[in-house]
Amino acid sequence: MDITRSGLEPVFCTIVPPHLLDRLSQAENPAVAEPARRTLVQDEANRTRRLTAAAGTTRPTIAGEAAEKPDRTIHDAQNGTELPGTKVRSEGEEPGQDATVNRAYAGLGATFELFLKGFKRNSIDGNGLPLIASVHYDEKYGNAFWDGNQMVFGDGDGEIFLDFTIPVDVMAHELTHGVTQYTANLAYSGQSGALNESVSDVFGSLVKQYTLGQTAEQADWLIGAGLLHENVQGVALRSMKAPGTAYDDDVLGKDPQPGHMDDYVDTEQDNGGVHINSGIPNHAFYLLATRLGGNAWERAGQIWYDVLTGGELATDCTFADFAKATAEKTAERYGQGDEHEAVLKAWSQVGVPTA
């Protein structure tokens, strides 16, 4: 049974972490530094506004009332910050001339399809919640975010970041924050916050793999491939296969993600390093998925989905709590066979206990 939490935590989640934007804001090149500063200021304003708003303001739905098909609406913010902006495409309408609008529409649809066909979940809330997105947000805005109600995509600065609708996993990542909001509602700080980010990376990657028809072995396990400008020394924002290797650039810096608890980063930045330490559970999922083989959404993804929607996670759960829950859910669904052994081994390899 799907669990929908009451008293939803106000959420503002971005794909690019503040520590990365802070580094860019100090770059010598003003074409990099100025957009990064603007993005940081706008993100902080949005975060403050969201935290002071009433929680759970998303449109309520009644179980069974909605058909199992997406209800997408794309708006154009026209490089302003008023949301949602001007409606430019509704569900069922043909593609227009704006490639960004078309990509956003397709990305929302791809995410909806995986959750429906892979996990029998009807949209973000499980009850057919309309999917709303705004594109062309602000000027050279270097981020994408879920604000608790809708998706928002920037165009990037053209120097470091390109259009944020280019990678489908970025769109799916942010929408999955909405799924987490309606299920486990993981608190956005420390290890629970890193799990919140990791779950979004997991399902973001699964949407990408599902869309491309890739097995676990064929997937690149990169988050945000195609987002970085060709002049940047890097391939993506994060790597689930090899945390800490996504980029190593003079301007962007070096990817700080650890892949093992021995390298866990204690920091006050980024809500306790939620975008950094997410590399540990990310790598555990990668190890599980590749050990099991085949389509990662079918077994590995099902285990993670069972945990996320099971209603048993504390909002402030730790990596060990989550790992233990995955072992228990695996045993419930698959017994004590290969899947269970693979789960235990994956968490052991990243230094997280399951008992």
* Active-site residue set: 174, 275
Instruction: Give yes or no for a contact between 77 and 139, defined as CB atoms under 8 angstroms apart.
Output: no
Question: How far apart, in whole angstroms, are the C-alpha atoms of residue 216 and residue 206?
Answer: 9
Cis upstream peptide for 84 (omega within 30°): yes
Instruction: Give yes or no for a contact between 153 and 164, defined as CB atoms under 8 angstroms apart.
Output: yes
Question: How far apart, in whole angstroms, are the C-alpha atoms of residue 50 and residue 341?
Answer: 42
Which pair of tokens denotes residue 166?
Answer: 């280019």
Q: SS3 breakdown of the chain: % helix, strand, coil, rounded to 5?
A: 40, 10, 50
Instruction: Give yes or no for a contact between 186 and 195, defined as CB atoms under 8 angstroms apart.
Output: yes
Residue 176, Ramachandran bin (φ over 0: left; ψ between -120 and 50: alpha; else beta): alpha
What count of other Cβ atoms lies within 10 Å of the Cβ of residue 111?
Answer: 31
What count of other Cβ atoms lies within 10 Å of the Cβ of residue 169?
Answer: 32
**Residue matched to tokens 């495409």:** 89
